[in-house]
Structures are given as structure tokens and as C-alpha cells.
Chain A
Amino acid sequence: AQSVTQLDSQVPVFEEAPVELRCNYSSSVSVYLFWYVQYPNQGLQLLLKYLSGSTLVKGINGFEAEFNKSQTSFHLRKPSVHISDTAEYFCAVCRNSGNTPLVFGKGTRLSVIA
């Protein structure tokens, strides 16, 4: 089975500062990795995903993430955050075969401070 650990439950950061949200996964098989964002009172929407190829993945809203197989990590980064980035961010994993559904981490609440 796959599992995801998001190491920080809350991350406060000042506007225009860089941010990194950490995600580690556990799996005995190869995986696909995802980051989703949830704005207040809304559903989740995809930020980016890693399936194969380049380990640096670029997503929407200026976010990017790097897949590190040796460290089993998929940390999310943005060089300069905006107030509008305030949201809950979820890392998720699934096997890369066998059509299994996503397993989500518990989320990291990013609060951008003006």
C-alpha cells in the first residue's frame, strides 16, 4: 500500500517570500505523484502531477515540484507567494499500474501574510 506524509500541517509565510511544502511518500512499487490545492469552501483542483520523465514538474499558478526517488519526496515550491495562494495543499500518490485510486496526505495549510 502507498502512504503520504505531509510534514507540516501549517505554514505561514509573508507575501512575495518563497515557500516549500514538504511531502514524503512510502511505496514498495513505482508511483505517480500529485499536488492538489483546496481554496476555502471549494473542492480540490490539480496543481501538478509527476508521471514520468523530468523530475522537475511545473504546474499552475507558478508552482513546481521535484520528484526525488532516493529520498521518496515530492516537495512543492513557489519562489514568490501571493495572498491568493492562501489555501490547503494536498500531496497524493498512487501506483503507476493496476489503476488504484489516489491516497492523500493530511494537507498543509498555507497562510500568506501581507
Chain B
Amino acid sequence: DAGVIQSPRHEVTEMGQEVTLRCKPISGHNSLFWYRQTMMRGLELLIYFNNNVPIDDSGMPEDRFSAKMPNASFSTLKIQPSEPRDSAVYFCASSPNRGSGNTIYFGEGSWLTVV
């Protein structure tokens, strides 16, 4: 079975540019999570969806960040405009339900560098 698929795997962009990260969850999973990983802050939950509906976006750092899930098989995380401090690895993950007690499956991450 295909796992969680993220694209792009690596992106280098200039400050001020728009960045769009994409995620395809595992088929049949109805919860989707976006995490950000940095050396300083570790793994932070940015936002999660259940049945395509955003449940909690309190982890989104500021208005420059937005996330959408237009259907059960696709989600995007957008940063506009991007800043050097947004450089991080962004992980998408999915689980069969909202995650309590259920395994969360991670993609391989999108490595973002903003210069």
C-alpha cells in the first residue's frame, strides 16, 4: 500500500515567495495532520483535519500560513510570503480517525529552505 505522499521533497525559495506543500494521505484515513520540525522547537503540530474539516489550527504560526483539504485525498499547506525562519521540515501524516490511540503514519517530509 502507498504511504503518505508529500511533494516537493526539497524546495529552496527566496524570501517573499509563495510556497505550496502538498500531501496525499493514505486511502481510507480520515484524519490528516501537518507538523513542522526544527532543531530548536522539535516537532510542532500546525493543524489537523478530520473528514476534510479543520479541527484545530492553533499551531499555525501566523497568518502567512494557511492549509486546505478540498477532498479526502489531498491537502495543501501554503506559506505566503515565505521568510527564512520558515525553513524547516514539514511533515504530513494521516490516521484512520482523529488519532487517539490510533497510529499516525508520516510522509517523508518536505524540506524547505528559504533564503
Contacts and interface: CB of A to CB of B under 8 A. Distances in A.
Given A101-B33, A101-B45, A105-B42, A43 B103 contact: no
Interface in A96-114: 96-107
Nearest to B41: A106
Contacts of A97: 100
Interface size class of B (residues with CB under 8 A): 20 to 34
A56 interface: no
Interface stretch (A16-24, A45-53, A69-77, A79-87): A45-53
A86 B103 CA distance: 22
B97 A99 contact: yes
B99 interface: yes
B68 to A, nearest CB: 18
B106 A100 contact: no
A100 B101 contact: no
A96 B101 contact: yes
A43 B107 contact: yes
B100 A43 contact: no
A42 B50 CA distance: 25
A6 B100 CA distance: 21
Given A99-B97, A102-B45, 8 more contacts: A43-B4, A43-B107, A95-B100, A99-B50, A101-B31, A104-B42, A104-B43, A106-B43
Interface of A: 32, 36, 41-46, 49, 51, 90, 94-107
14 contacts: A32-B100, A32-B101, A43-B4, A43-B91, A43-B109, A44-B91, A49-B101, A49-B103, A94-B101, A99-B97, A99-B99, A101-B99, A101-B104, A103-B45
